Structure 1
Amino acid sequence: MGAELSVWIIGVFGIVAVVCWFLSKLLIFDSTKHDEQFVWLRSVEEDASKKE
């Protein structure tokens, strides 16, 4: 019974970790894209190429 419970707990934490990881990637990418389009009015790549 203890081993089965351990497997379930590890599985649930694994699923939650994967969902959090994908959500954080989505939020970072989407936030940067929104900022480039509406706030900064230029892209990050453009700014990096000007400094070189």
Structure 2
Amino acid sequence: MSINRTRGLLYWLARLLGDVNAVRRGRVGRRIGRRVVGRAAGRGIGRLFRRF
């Protein structure tokens, strides 16, 4: 197993544990909202830098 695959697995596991924690605390909506906003911001920044 390569280091990149291991790192990807660890990031996936961390995200899963964060989701479980959000469910336990009753903050799923807030977590999903932040994830959506973060993806949109990342895409916008990526498009901005692709133009230059």
User: TM-score of the superposition, structure 2-length normalised?
Assistant: 0.49
TM-score (ref. length: structure 1)? 0.49
Larger Rg: 1
